[in-house]
Amino acid sequence: MTRTMLMVAALLLCVEPAGAAPDLLARMAAVNPSLRSYTATLHAEIHLLTFPFLSTDIVGTLYRKEPDREKLVVTSGLPFVAQNFGKLYPNIVSPSRWEQMFVVTQAGDDGGITRLRLVPRKRGNVDHIDVSVDDATALVTSLRWNYRNGGYALMKQRFAPIQGEELAIAEQGHIQEPGYVADITATLDGYHVNVPLSESIFEQP
């Protein structure tokens, strides 16, 4: 090998696989440091793009207990749509636990938005999650759950300061599963922050 080739080979051996920027993950985990729990009212418009091609409004209560306990209890809407939506509403794990639950790598950064890929450490229905993070605020602006069956669920979020915390006030989503496609637009209000929440809430079917 020539001297130049040896130098190139040495440099390649020093290159580590791309990982997630540790400073960004630390900033994400530090958002809302005093937040322990909340409840909120969710108002959603659901448009089924497959048979039976229905549109309906749904109202529900969202319960959240850090770092990863979340449940949506639907209180009004077409029964079979409401039931499915309550089951499909995605659980968002706090960034403080991402490295425990996922292999996290950085997929790109355009100077304002960093894109991360989360691959579950335990095999399940989710193949990987694509995440977009605002570099300035360290808030997650969108998530896309990619399922092993070829389907996916996309959710974009908008935040606002509420009771001293940065909380989602609007969501826009698209779900595409075999035999089930829907668009969703939702708003969240009526927040109650750091309220006691029993574990039984999250154990209910």
pLDDT (tens digit per residue) in 174-188: 999 888 899 999 999
Tokens, residue 178: 């075999």
Across 3-12, 68-77, 194-203, least confident range: 3-12
Q: Label the pairing between strands 102-109 and 140-147.
A: unpaired
- DSSP assignment of the chain equals --HHHHHHHHHHHHPPPP---HHHHHHHHTSSTT--EEEEEEEEEEEESSTT--EEEEEEEEEEETTTEEEEEEEES-HHHHHHHHHHSPP---GGGHHHHEEEEEEEE-SSEEEEEEEESS-SSEEEEEEEEETTT--EEEEEEEETTS-EEEEEEEEEEETTEEEEEEEEEEEEETTEEEEEEEEEEEEEES----THHHH--
User: Contact 128/120 with Cβ under 8 angstroms?
Assistant: yes
Other beta carbons within 10 angstroms of residue 92's beta carbon come to 17
Over 50: is that where the pLDDT of 64 sits? Answer: yes
Distance CA 205, CA 203 (A): 6
Q: Which pLDDT band, with edges at 50, 70 and 90, does 80 fall under?
A: confident
Can you read off the two tokens belonging to residue 101? Answer: 């639950």
Banded pLDDT at 5 (limits 50, 70, 90): very low
Q: Is the pLDDT of residue 127 over 90?
A: yes
As a whole number, mean pLDDT of residues 90-102 equals: 90
Place 7 in a pLDDT band, splitting at 50, 70 and 90: very low
CA dihedral 47→52→57→60, nearest 10 degrees, is -100
Which single residue is written with the structure tokens 């937040």?
A: 35
Q: How far apart are CA 132 and CA 49, in angstroms?
A: 26
| Whole-number Cα distances in Å, 101 to 25, 37, 124 | 14, 21, 12
Fold of 17-198: outer membrane lipoprotein receptor (LolB), chain A (2.50.20)
17 close to 106: Cβ distance less than 8 angstroms: no
Whether pLDDT at 17 is above 50:
no
Give the pLDDT score at 18. 46
